[in-house]
C-alpha cells in the first residue's frame, strides 16, 4: 500500500470517528438537560418568570423552539434562564441547523439574573448584557462574541461568561412561525496551576525549537 493511500485512509478514519463523536454528543444534549418545545412544552412568554433550564456541566446543552407573531398584537416571546455553576463558564452559543427566521434575522438577548425585566417593546438595550441578530447564514457559528458587543445601551461583555445566573429572550415579530435552535457550550474554568504548567511547557518547547 502506498504512503499516500495510507495517509488518506487514516484521515478518512479520523473524520468518521470525529463525526460519530459529534453526533453522539449532540444526541445526548437534545434530551435532558436542555429544552425542546416539541417535547417539553412551550417556553415561558413572561419575562419576569422565565423557564428554568438545566445546563450540562462540561458539555453542550441545546434549546430548540419556535417564535413569531400570529397577529399584530400576539407575539410568541420565549424566555428561559439557567445557572452556570461555580467552576464552569459559558464559552459558546452556536446557532443550530434547522434555524429558520421569518425574515432575515431573529433576535436573542441576555441579561444577568433569574428574570428578564427589559420590556419587549423597548427601543433600547439598556439592562441587557448583550444581544445578537441571527439568521440561516449563522448556522454553525458561535454568536456569543457578537452578543458581547456593547451597543444601544447594552453593557457588553467579553466571552466566556463566568459562573452565575443568566436569562435569555428570543423573539421575532414577523407573521408566521420561525424555528430556532441554540447550543450552549459550558466548559470547566482552567485551574491556575494547570494554566501555569501549560505556559511553562510551551515556553520550554519554544526554547527547544529556537535552539534547533
d(CA 33, CA 210): 48
Q: What is the three-class DSSP state of 159?
A: coil
Q: What is the three-class DSSP state of 118?
A: coil
Q: Are the beta carbons of 72 and 90 closer than 8 angstroms?
A: no
- Residue 107 backbone dihedrals phi, psi, to 5 degrees: -130, 135
Here the cell at position 78 is: 420565549
Give residue-wise pLDDT tens across range 115-125.
Answer: 999 998 888 89
- What was the pLDDT predicted at 200? 64
pLDDT for residue 190 is more than 70: yes
Residue 195: pLDDT band with limits 50, 70, 90: low
Reported pTM: 0.76
d(CA 20, CA 27): 11
Q: For the chain, which residues make up each domain, given as ranges?
A: 25-207
d(CA 132, CA 99): 14
Q: Are the beta carbons of 157 and 146 closer than 8 angstroms?
A: no
Amino acid at each position: 500500500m502506498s504512503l499516500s493511500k495510507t495517509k488518506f485512509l487514516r484521515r478518512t478514519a479520523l473524520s468518521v470517528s470525529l463525526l460519530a463523536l459529534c453526533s453522539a454528543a449532540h444526541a445526548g444534549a437534545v434530551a435532558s438537560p436542555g429544552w425542546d418545545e416539541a417535547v417539553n412544552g412551550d417556553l415561558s412568554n413572561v419575562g419576569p418568570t422565565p423557564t428554568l433550564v438545566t445546563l450540562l456541566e462540561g458539555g453542550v446543552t441545546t434549546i430548540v423552539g419556535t417564535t413569531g407573531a400570529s397577529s399584530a398584537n400576539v407575539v410568541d416571546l420565549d424566555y428561559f434562564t439557567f445557572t452556570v455553576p461555580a467552576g464552569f463558564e459559558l464559552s459558546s452559543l452556536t446557532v443550530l441547523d434547522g434555524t429558520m427566521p421569518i425574515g432575515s434575522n431573529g433576535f436573542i438577548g441576555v441579561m444577568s439574573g433569574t428574570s428578564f425585566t427589559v420590556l419587549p417593546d423597548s427601543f433600547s438595550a439598556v439592562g441587557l448584557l448583550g444581544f445578537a441578530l441571527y439568521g440561516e447564514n449563522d448556522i454553525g457559528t458561535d454568536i456569543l462574541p457578537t452578543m458581547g458587543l456593547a451597543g444601544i445601551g447594552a453593557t457588553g461583555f467579553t466571552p466566556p461568561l463566568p459562573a452565575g445566573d443568566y436569562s435569555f429572550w428570543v423573539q421575532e415579530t414577523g407573521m408566521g412561525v420561525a424555528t430556532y435552535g441554540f447550543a450552549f457550550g459550558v466548559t470547566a474554568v482552567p485551574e491556575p496551576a494547570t494554566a501555569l504548567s501549560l505556559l511553562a511547557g510551551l515556553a520550554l518547547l519554544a526554547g527547544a525549537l529556537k535552539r534547533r
